[in-house]
Amino acid sequence: MNYVIGKDFIRVNLDTFDPLATLNSGQMFRYGILDSGDMWLSSGANYATIQKENGDYVIHTQNPKYFVNFFDLDTNYPEIIKALSQWPVLQPALDYSRGVRMLKQDLIEVIISFIISANNNIPRIKKAVDLICTNFGEKCSWGYAFPSLTRLASATEKDFASYGCGYRAPYLVETISALKDTDILDRLISAPDTVTARQLLLSLKGVGPKVADCILLFGLNRYDVFPVDTWIEKVYKDEFRGTEKSRVKQSKFFVETFRDLSGYCQQYLFYYKRKDVNK
């Protein structure tokens, strides 16, 4: 146990927890730095701020249990990193990514955010997701929650387009409608295996192989997936000297190699490959 939980806070030892690195690692989009220098973040309808205090990080929130799960604080990361260390090619990424946790996020928020992420850049994704929240999310003392499906269903294609979603706007409308009118969310959550869940996700408009893998990883806590985007394709060619051209085949190669550690491995490699962009 590397944390202490209170009524409205969590105090976390910083040995295996680097919140800024985690927030900057491309898993989520609603976070920032306050004037005070503290970090803030929101997931679903939950909100927290984080500050460094006497050599610990303190997460201030009304929902400490939510964020213990969100930041995956009960998982033994040194053990995972030790297991991944058997592949020397990963070592620089493991060193650079120390303290990055795999986030357990709100499923609907992940689906919407990563449909927007396709062929897009992170600053723009953040803007679009924030505009969706301020226009359709419930107003809270700290800002705006991520909208419920019911609220999202009242947004039009024009709305999404005006938030900078581009050609993904109609995908969002269609997928929101499908999620609202079918039991696909329940079937995703109760899916017996990753293949079944992926197949369901691929039926959603705007969700292809890469976005499906991100949803499986960040929204459904499945770690035998390896999302391949432009950055990971660079890793595949540069560090692994791979020759497959299709990203689906590249992903299969990675999953066959890293198995149930694939999700962690992918996140560390992604964060490391982007170290010059992380600023």
Contact positions vs DNA (CB under 7 A): 25-27, 114, 117-125, 127, 161, 164, 166-167, 171, 204-212, 214, 227-232, 245-246, 248, 266-267, 270, 274, 277
Comparing CB distances to DNA, the nearer of 89 and 277 is 277
Least distance (Å) from DNA to the CB of residue 233?
Answer: 8
Least distance (Å) from DNA to the CB of residue 135?
Answer: 16
Instruction: Tell me the C-alpha distance between 171 and 160, whole Å.
Output: 10
Comparing CB distances to DNA, the nearer of 46 and 97 is 97
Tokens found for residue 64: 């400490």
Instruction: Tell me the C-alpha distance between 2 and 76, whole Å.
Output: 9
Catalytic annotation on 245? no
Least distance (Å) from DNA to the CB of residue 201?
Answer: 9
Closest by Cα among 8, 19, 96, 99 to 57? 19
Q: Which whole-number Å values give the CA distances from 185 to 114, 118, 148, in the listed order? A: 16, 21, 13
Alpha-carbon dihedral 130, 132, 137, 141, rounded to 10 degrees: 20
Tokens found for residue 99: 């303290």
Least distance (Å) from DNA to the CB of residue 74?
Answer: 21
210, 249, 275, 279: the active-site residue: 210
Owner of token pair 């039009």 = 156
Instruction: Tell me the C-alpha distance between 31 and 265, whole Å.
Output: 23
Comparing CB distances to DNA, the nearer of 37 and 123 is 123
Comparing CB distances to DNA, the nearer of 10 and 261 is 261
| Active centre residues (catalytic) | 210
